[in-house]
Structure formats: C-alpha cells, structure tokens
Structure 1
Amino acid sequence: MNVLDPLFETPLCNAADLGRPIPDSPHAVSVCLPTWADNIGYEEKTPRVIEQLNNGYPRFVFHHLCQQLFAECHTKFAAADESCLVFPSVIAAERFAKFFAKQTGQKPRLCDFGQHGVQAACFPTQFADTAKAGWQHLGEGISSRHAEACLVGRSAPDATEAKQILRQRIADAASAAVEDVFLFPSGMNAIFSVYRALEATFPDRKCVQFGFPYVDTLKIQKTCGTGVHFYPHGESADLDQLAEVLADEPISGIYTEFPSNPLLKSPDLARLAELARAHRCPLVVDDTVATFVNADVLSAADAVCSSLTKFFSGAGDVTAGSVVLNANGPFYNELKTALGQEDDLLWCEDALVLEENSRDFETRVRQINHNAEQLADHLLQHPRVTAVNYPKFQTPQRYSAFRKRDGGYGGLLSVDITDPANRAPRVFNALRVCKGPNLGTNYTLVCPYTILAHYGELDFAEDCGVSRYLLRVSVGLEPPEDLIARFDEALAVD
C-alpha cells in the first residue's frame, strides 16, 4: 500500500492538467476537470474542454479505445447516416436494442464483430443522445480493455481463477456464501440486473426509490419499467407514506443506498426491512459508499449491490460490480435463478486487474476510514463550512445500527461552503488534490458533484436537498494532517 501516492505529491489539479487521465493509465476511469468552469464546460460540451478528453468515467465518456472500435464497426457495418456502439455480448446488445426501441420506436441493427463475442449496434445518428443514455444507464457497454483486445487481435486470458477469488473475497467480507456472489461489468449493471430480475418476477408493478440516489439508479427506474415512487428525503414521514403505498399497491422492489451518495444519509434500514417483509416486497441496498468492511446490510436486504470500481478496486483503472444475495431472504430462490442465468460480462482482463487491485481492500478501507473521519471532524469546526455530510453526523443512529463492530464511517463526505455561489467555485479551483469524477480511490478526489451529475436538472436536485454548489470529497490514503492543510489553504481563499 503506497500511502504517498504520486497523485497526492503532484495532484492533477491545475488548469494545465485539464483532460489528463486519473490515474496515469490507458484504462483510467476518471479525468482531470480542474476548475469549476471546466466542469460546466464538460456538461455544456464546450470544445475547449471536450477536445481535451480522451477518457472519463466510462459510462459517461466513451473511452478513446472504445471510440476506435466504434469507428471500425462503423466502417464495416453502418450506413453514412448511422452511428455505432459496441457491446460485449449478443444479450447485452439486445438489451440495449430494447431500451433504444422503447425510447425511439426504432430497433438498432445488431452485427457480429467476429471477435470475443462482441456485437455492434447500428442506429440512426439522429438518436445518438438516446443511445448514449442507454450506454450510461444500463452499464454494460464494452470496456476499454475488451475493446483494445478486439482492436489488436489479442486473445482472451483465462480469468476463471481470478473471478473465483473475487467472489470468495467479497463473500468473506460480506459474510455470505461464495455461490451467492455475482459479478458484473459495472456497479450500475449490477443494479440494472437486479432491477430486471424483479421486473420479470413482478411484472407491471412500480418500484420504490427511498432516498436521493446516484443519478442513474433513478434513471433506470424511470425509463426501463412501469414507474417509480420516489421519496428523495428518506425520512420518517416518507416511511409513513411508503407504508400507505405498500398497503394499497403491490411493489416490485424497494431500492435504497446505505449511506446515500452524495448526502451520506442512512435510511432507517430496519424499518424498511420490516415494511418490505410485511408486504412481501424485495429490498435492494446499494452499499458502495459504506463497503462490506464497514457495514453489514445483508441481514436486512434481499440483495446488496456494490460498485467494485470504487473502494474495492481503489486504483481507478477498472470497472466492475457485484450482487450479494441474502440466502435467508424470502426472494432468494427467484433472484438466484434469475442472476444465475445472466451472461458473464466481466471481461477477463478486467477481472485479473480487479483481483490484483483488491488484495489489500480491507487494509486500505480502514486507513481511509481514519483519514476521512479526521478531515470531517476538522471541517465540521471550520468557520467557512456550513455543513459536512458524513455518516458520523448525518443520521448517525441509523448508520450505527448496521455498522460493524470494527467498522468506520467510510471515505466519502460532502461539504457546503459559506456564500456558496461566490466561494464554492473559488475553493474548488484552489484545492491542491486531484479533481475529477469517481470515488473510492486510493488518492483523494474532489468534484462539484451536482454540476457533474445533475447539470440538466439543478433545480430538481436542490428541491431534493442537494445544493448545486456541493463539493463531494472522496478521501484517500494520504496523511490526514497534510490533507487538512490543503483544505484549510483552499478555504482561506476569498
């Protein structure tokens, strides 16, 4: 474990760093957006910003290796007025085609690339934005390593053992059986897979989203099924309203995050589980922020979804996700049957990288816990900080009810700054830590979360309690005293 990561010693945070990959890897899953204006420029597709990007978070920015494969498929399969996206299997491409057809009324043409099971989807270019939304929400587009293997004709190494090790590592951390752990190419695809399983089990039912979730979870619920009852604040009054809905209407599933991203609020998971059991409704919990190390939510949930891209990997150079099933849950058999029929879409080379990255997962998370708590405690007392969103301060009793005896509060926090419209951009610009999307990395990473995730719906986000000026901080392995000094330096800027 290299505490003094070069990304802390020389963080990517200056104007000249715009567009550089974070980390310095051909398969990095983040990109430096060093100023507030750069983040807005990214959202508004300003050429000054977009032309500097060769990568980004893979569901939001097409990796340059993926773009090269798209271009090759376009040459082979597409008409002049068509565009191409590429998927890792026939079934993934067919699911994309179903999404696209539902949104546009037109079905893409699917073409076999002829290597590694890869399929190209060709569609009218006029619907490129819809296609991009499908790539983003469903989370099963081809990975950069998989694309590279197709481009250079590289054979697929055997990752059977690596995947078994990964499942066992997750099972041990989650106190589950290895046969109840399933791997996916991204955290969002893990959620989408559970969502599809429950939609098939309970057709024509709405689902419930309890608490303000990560953006694409809600997008899936709004676009891929019957509809969603959304309770953005996730408070006791919402539980009372939910109880009334459950008494009157069958529901396909209740989805919640523990704690939530970016507000770090924990739902009353015990009561949610009680309501779910009483009304025979599955409960799905995303524990990405807490991690298996810090919280035991499996006892309350029917399925626990995690983005392994984040703390589990730590390096920021691979995407993956997992689902862990509660063997004692009332919907265990239905979920296990459905997930057992899923294609294995986690590319073998990604699995090999993830296995190596995650060997010190527990050790890293415990150090990050310590560092984040030190920073959060300090910022809470800072006169230029109006709020620190962190599980220790936000709904602490709810979090503690499922916190493991030796668990911490995790590595994610978010902060509100005094005079935010004027000062939040200045503080962000002055911070000497890496700046870009993603979380759970071994190096501290900060972003203006609401700008990146909800730029087209800022009023909606603020109605849900998420300030447009919120700074989200994913704390890394750096010495906390140095990290505190860097935040103090930025907060002193007028």
Structure 2
Amino acid sequence: MSTTTITAAPNTGSASLGLAVPPFTPHAISVSLPTWRDNVGYEEGEKRVIDSMVSGYPRFFIHLTIRKLARICEQKFGVNGELCLLCPSKKIADHCRAFMLARLAQEGSNTPPHVRLVQYLICPENTPVESSSPQQARPHSSASIQCVELHIVLFPADIFPIAKQFWQHSGMGISSRLAEHCLSLLPDDLSRSQSPPQSPLPSSPTIPRAAFRAPNKHYSVKHTPKSPSLGEARPAAFVSQAQNNASDELSKDQSTYLEERYGRNLPLSAGAYAKRALRRRIAGVLLRDSSDDGPGGPSAGAQDAEVGPSSRGVQDVTEDDVYLFPTGMGAIWNAHQLALGARPPAKSVCFGFPYTDTLKILEKWGPGCHFLGHGLDSDIDTLEGILAAESASSPSTPPILALFTEFPSNPLLRCPNLSRLRALADKYDFLLVVDDTIGNFVNVEVLPYADIVVSSLSKIFSGDANAMGGSLVLNPKGRHYAALKAHMAVAYEDNFFTEDALFMERNSRDFAQRIKIIDSNTHAVCAFLHSRSQSSPSPPPLPAIKQVFYPAYITPENYAACRLPSGGFGGLFSLTFTSLAASEAFFDALPCHKGPSLGTNFTLACPYTILAHFYELPWAAQYGVEEGLVRISLGMEDQEWLLKCFGSALEAAEAVV
C-alpha cells in the first residue's frame, strides 16, 4: 500500500518565517521564507530574519543536530578553538582536507594551517565494540547496537568558510539522521548537556557561494561581494534561540511517533532491502514494483523479486549499474571524480545555466571548465570550435574530459540538443553526463544519449522533502562503460545512511503516480499563466508576466526528442515579470509554501535569483536569469484550487503594472 497521501485539500498558506518546510518535520529539507522582503532580508543579514531561522536546505544549513554533535567533537578533540566538519568515511575526510589545503594555497596562504583528521568510534556504554560504517543498519535491540565510525576534520576557526565550501559543493557530509543516531549512542549526560553554539564564528575571507544559500545567510556576517561569476558565502553563526521558541518544534518522542504512525519507518535491519529496491526502481528493472513489505524489508528489494530488462531506454541496465549517494550533488561530485579518475585529464564543459554547485564543482576540482551558459544550439556551435581548437593543439588526448548538462535546466527549463552533443562526444571521445532531476525518468528518456545519468532523489522521487539522496547510473552501452565500471569497483563506497535510505525507499514507491498528477496540474497552471503573459499569441493589454519558462514552451523540440509517449512536462516552471514590483506582488500574494528546493508533493515557490545569485545579479541576468524570476514547483493539490491561487496572485501582480 502506498505511503504517500495525495493532497486533496489545499494548503492555505506558508509556514511562519524561518520554520521547517514541511512543518513538524525534524529532517525537513526546506525553510519558510514567505515574502519577497524575507528573502531579501535573509540575503542582507537582517536580524529579524536571521533570528527566526531554525531550518534550511541541508547542504547549506548545517542541521542543528549535526551542530550539536560537532560541538561535542570539538570539545572532545579540538585545541585552541578548532572547529570541525563531520564526514561519514576516511576517504571523504581526506578529500575535505585536500580540498581545504588546495583552496588556501590558491588564495596565496603562505603558511598552510594545520588541518587534521580524527577517527571517532562511537559506541553505546556497556556494549561490546563492533565497528561499523555509518551506512550499516542499526538493529533496534539495544544489546546488538553497532558502533559508528565518525571521521572528523579539525581546523582553525578562521578557515571555516573554506571547509564549508566542501560541505556545500560535494554534498558528502553526514546527514542529520546519522548525527541523531550518533547522539543516541553517546551517554545521556554528554548529549543532553550540549546545545548548538550561540555565538558567531570568527570572520573569514569571502568564498564562492551557490544556489539556495539560505543557511549561509543564517550563519552570516556582512561582506563585500567578489567576482559575479562566483558569488559569495559567509561564515556561520549558530543560532539556537529561535529553535527554542519555534512553534513547530517537536520532542523526539513526538517526531518519532509521527514518522512511525504514518508508516515511514522500517527496522534498520531492512536497509539492504531498501537500497536494493531503490537501485532496481531507478534502473527500471522491476516487473512489479510492489509497495508491500516482505519478511526482511520491502519486497521490491527481496532476492526473489521479479526483474527484467530495463525500461530506461537501454535494456542492459541492471541494479548493479546504479550507485547511491547521500545527496544529489554528491552524485554529481562523484560523477566528476569518476571522470577525473578514469579518463585523461582535461577541462570539462558546463553546458547551459546550471544549478550553481555543478559549475562550482567543475571549476574547483580538476583542470577547470568551459562555461557555455545559454545551453542553446548556438552554444553547440561554440563548443565545436573549442573542441576543434583543443584537438589541434593536443591531438593525442581528448579535448575535454566531460560535458555536464541538465535536462531540462534549473531554473530556465531549457533542454540541450542531446543528439548533437552525443555525436560530438563520440567524435571527440569525451564523457556526456546528464542530470535528469527536473525531467525525471517517468517523463523523459536521456540514458541512451549519456555515459552517466545523475539525479537528485531528494526531489520528486522522494516528494516528502524529509530525506536527501542521489543516484548515478552508468550506461552499459557507452563506449567507456568498462573503464568507468572498473573505476567504480575500486573507488565507490556506500555512504548513504541506512535510515535515510529507508525513508527514501518508502517515499518513492508511488513516485510514478505522483508525477502524473503533478504533470497534469503544472500543465494546466502554465497554460493559464501563458495565456496572460506578454509572450502569449493574444496577450492582455497590460500583462504582468513577461514569459513562462516551461518545457512545453522553451526549446520544445529538444524536449520532445526525449519525451516518453506517456510523459508529461514535469512539475517545475519559472516566471519572469514586466517589472520587479509585479514579481514581488505575485510572490507575496501566492498562497503556498515558499522556500528553497523543488519536486515536493506540495506547491513550493521561491524568488530563485534572489536566493541563488543575490550578489551576482548582473552576471546571472546576462544568461536570462533575471532578478525578478520566480520559480515554482507544483504539487498535488486540487487543480481547481491551484488555478484560483495563481489567478489571485496574478491579479495582484497586474494591479501594480
């Protein structure tokens, strides 16, 4: 039986400023910023907003549970005021340390700081030591609880912003559920005596920042912006007063009850089943994707589950070609690490205006990248010139390492011509990596064109906005499949915490059905808004909407080339307006949740450019990402109610034109 509730009754408004979205969710992955002024105030460090923040997107806002565990580790192992980041494995901690030292060297640091690693084996008291990796299951029996091996990166406090870049870009830090598990193994007097730090961290140099930096501002102090192509991030200040006063704060017993009451918990011993079910679901090999639970866990993950040829467009794909990661960005970071490890060194290409951290990964690891930010066919012409020039200068090696692109892109919903890109990849021998998060594999089929497909499972695959995850799929028909597979056999480690995987598996059982409802809702709302826009064949006399960015209207021929016969156009769209005042009026009047993230079962909106590129607005604008752009992820609410909501918001926008 499906575990996701289809929302028939509308959500009448957003949560209060700074609280979790969804409300009453201990591991929520969004935060409420209900007005345009709240979002601007967030970016400007307005005290009213900062003091209200108790949640945020996990790669940018370090969860309060993780902060609590970090403070314990700092007091136990730190010296001279050292701070720390918490990693799920030694390999990730090594990557973090190497990244920090490399970035500091690039910034001209004459005396490299002492960045050190500590391995911390956390065991419950009076329990025989049985070491385990963080991703292994924790049985409910207290007598058989396994220890957790935590890897701590300690460093001087003034370089925290550099460490935070690794946390943000790689997406490979520990999850809040893993931190909660670690705290449960510590003595009660130790875990209860600690609370998140309340004083700000020391000031530090500004650093590049990425989309949805809501948590960054929660930590922040004011700073001077740097290069518009990079943006900024700011150091952290831990705020706990708002958490203590939050109206939606739940006790541990209450939150556990809610999760278990609605069927979203399974014994952690079922973790292997859940991960196998996830890999099979993503590979498209399940002949019957049952929502039932078997004796050991989800029946879709049982050894005797019925599987067959893949439905992903490449029949040879199996569950063994699917790799799971703690976050979607973790999948992208690992795809880039895979390319660097398996192929000759060269610059990569970022094709199209991407979710910001993808560009940061390609810039900060390896030889760098070429950025073709429009993602149109004219950029493919430019790409051909780059490839020809690089090949002429070095004919013995591939001209580029890999090309990364989104299908469609976030937030402009543009789709590249994958057929042309595939032809160039074959001709010039580079990898083609496609992020299908926005399109999703119920609607589009991109794997036949790609060597690697990455996706954020945190979005519509989950839908409930209470778990993070990512996937990477190798195309067994790709010319470099053998080399990529061999490298993954040596390099891959499973850092997807079991409890996060359990939630993700339960959430995703009915994702195909949810997508159909969301596709239908979005198509209806976009048709209405498009008819009232400046780009409509019959625009109103004084339109408030300039353009609707939606795959049915933006590069439709490229989307159609990969659209499945029964596929829709997805649940994401963006709007630009004829004035900034119209943008603000529309956003403020829209009665839905407002905050970062997308692909939720409920409608979620944000002023994307304000959140993602506040200190680089002119740079973003040159690629069509305007200051007043509003991005909306449609949910499963009643369609007629949604049309009324958007109609009233549009009236508010038109009133100020």
The interval holding the TM-score normalised by the smaller chain is: over 0.9
Q: Given residue 98 of structure 2, which amino acid in structure 1 is its aligned partner?
A: K
Secondary structure in 2 aligned to 1:270? Answer: helix
Paired position in structure 2 for 1:487:
646
1:42-57 matched pairs, under 5 angstroms: 42-57=42-57
- Are 1:167 and 1:182, in contact at CA under 8 Å, matched by a contact in 2? yes
Shift of 1:293: 0.4
Deviates more, 1:112-121 or 1:305-314: 112-121
- Are 1:157 and 1:349, in contact at CA under 8 Å, matched by a contact in 2? no
Superimposed CA distance per residue, residues 381-416 of structure 1 (whole angstroms, 9 cap, x where no aligned partner): 123211000000000010000001111100000001
Q: Given residue 9 of structure 1, which amino acid in structure 2 is its aligned partner?
A: N
Distance 1:156 1:49 in 2: 38
Q: Given residue 62 of structure 2, which amino acid in structure 1 is its aligned partner?
A: F
Paired position in structure 2 for 1:371:
521
Structure (1/2) with the larger helix percentage: 1
Secondary structure in 2 aligned to 1:49? Answer: helix
Deviates more, 1:155-164 or 1:21-30: 155-164
Superimposed CA distance per residue, residues 55-98 of structure 1 (whole angstroms, 9 cap, x where no aligned partner): 21000111111111111111111123321111111111111111
Secondary structure in 2 aligned to 1:292? Answer: coil
- Are 1:257 and 1:286, in contact at CA under 8 Å, matched by a contact in 2? yes
Q: Given residue 314 of structure 1, which amino acid in structure 2 is its aligned partner?
A: G
Q: Given residue 184 of structure 2, which amino acid in structure 1 is its aligned partner?
A: V
Shift of 1:206: 0.3
- Structure 2: gaps (5+ residues): 106-111, 123-147, 187-266, 285-310, 391-398, 533-542
Residue 309 in 1 paired to residue 309 in 2?
no
Q: Which one of the candidate residues 155, 171, 174 is aligned to 2:312?
A: 174
Q: Which one of the candidate residues 498, 508, 518 is aligned to 1:358?
A: 508
Q: Given residue 149 of structure 1, which amino acid in structure 2 is its aligned partner?
A: H
- Are 2:20 and 2:28, in contact at CA under 8 Å, matched by a contact in 1? no
Distance 1:165 1:156 in 2: 14
Distance 1:42 1:279 in 2: 45
Residue 200 in 1 paired to residue 341 in 2?
yes
Distance 1:279 1:158 in 2: 45
Paired position in structure 2 for 1:407:
567
Q: Given residue 31 of structure 1, which amino acid in structure 2 is its aligned partner?
A: V
Paired position in structure 2 for 1:141:
173
Distance 1:143 1:376 in 2: 36
Paired position in structure 1 for 2:38:
38
- Are 1:205 and 1:252, in contact at CA under 8 Å, matched by a contact in 2? yes
Paired position in structure 1 for 2:616:
457
Distance 1:3 1:21 in 2: 17
- Are 2:17 and 2:53, in contact at CA under 8 Å, matched by a contact in 1? no
Distance 1:98 1:316 in 2: 32
Distance 1:44 1:217 in 2: 25
Paired position in structure 1 for 2:290:
none
Paired position in structure 1 for 2:289:
none
Paired position in structure 2 for 1:4:
7
Deviates more, 1:301-310 or 1:379-388: 379-388
Q: Given residue 254 of structure 1, which amino acid in structure 2 is its aligned partner?
A: L
Paired position in structure 1 for 2:576:
416
Superimposed CA distance per residue, residues 176-229 of structure 1 (whole angstroms, 9 cap, x where no aligned partner): 311111100001010110101111233431000111100000011111121111
Q: Given residue 277 of structure 2, which amino acid in structure 1 is its aligned partner?
A: I
Aligned length: 490
Residue 27 in 1 paired to residue 177 in 2?
no
Structure 1 residues 325 and 265 mapped into 2: Cα distance closer, same or farther (>3 Å)? same
Paired position in structure 2 for 1:392:
552
TM-score of the pair, normalised by structure 1: 0.96
Deviates more, 1:194-203 or 1:341-350: 194-203
Distance 2:478 2:13 in 1: 45
Superimposed CA distance per residue, residues 426-475 of structure 1 (whole angstroms, 9 cap, x where no aligned partner): 22112100000010000000000111111221111111110011000000
TM-score of the pair, normalised by structure 2: 0.73
Paired position in structure 1 for 2:382:
241
Distance 1:328 1:4 in 2: 40
Paired position in structure 1 for 2:277:
165
Superimposed CA distance per residue, residues 327-378 of structure 1 (whole angstroms, 9 cap, x where no aligned partner): 0001111222223331101000000000000000100011111111111111
- Are 1:284 and 1:303, in contact at CA under 8 Å, matched by a contact in 2? yes
Superimposed CA distance per residue, residues 228-275 of structure 1 (whole angstroms, 9 cap, x where no aligned partner): 111001122211111121123211001100000000000011000111
Q: Which one of the candidate residues 150, 154, 157 is aligned to 2:182?
A: 150
Larger-gyration structure (1/2): 2
Distance 1:45 1:120 in 2: 30
Q: Which one of the candidate residues 428, 437, 442 is aligned to 1:293?
A: 442
- Are 2:402 and 2:431, in contact at CA under 8 Å, matched by a contact in 1? yes
Distance 1:231 1:398 in 2: 17
Q: Which one of the candidate residues 327, 350, 366 is aligned to 1:209?
A: 350
Secondary structure in 1 aligned to 2:499? Answer: helix
Secondary structure in 1 aligned to 2:605? Answer: strand
Deviates more, 1:111-120 or 1:383-392: 111-120
Q: Which one of the candidate residues 476, 479, 496 is aligned to 1:330?
A: 479
Secondary structure in 1 aligned to 2:562? Answer: coil
Distance 1:170 1:297 in 2: 13
- Are 1:376 and 1:388, in contact at CA under 8 Å, matched by a contact in 2? yes
Q: Given residue 399 of structure 1, which amino acid in structure 2 is its aligned partner?
A: Y
- Structure 1: gaps (5+ residues): none
Shift of 1:18: 3.4
Distance 2:400 2:591 in 1: 47
Superimposed CA distance per residue, residues 255-298 of structure 1 (whole angstroms, 9 cap, x where no aligned partner): 10000000000001100011111111110000000001000000
Deviates more, 1:119-128 or 1:361-370: 119-128
Deviates more, 1:284-293 or 1:232-241: 232-241
Superimposed CA distance per residue, residues 279-318 of structure 1 (whole angstroms, 9 cap, x where no aligned partner): 1111000000000100000000000000000010000000
Deviates more, 1:382-391 or 1:394-403: 382-391
Q: Given residue 161 of structure 1, which amino acid in structure 2 is its aligned partner?
A: Y
- Are 2:544 and 2:582, in contact at CA under 8 Å, matched by a contact in 1? no
Distance 1:212 1:122 in 2: 35
Q: Which one of the candidate residues 114, 117, 136 is aligned to 1:110?
A: 117
Q: Given residue 430 of structure 1, which amino acid in structure 2 is its aligned partner?
A: A
- Are 2:18 and 2:55, in contact at CA under 8 Å, matched by a contact in 1? no
Deviates more, 1:171-180 or 1:83-92: 171-180
Shift of 1:156: 6.1
Q: Given residue 501 of structure 2, which amino acid in structure 1 is its aligned partner?
A: A
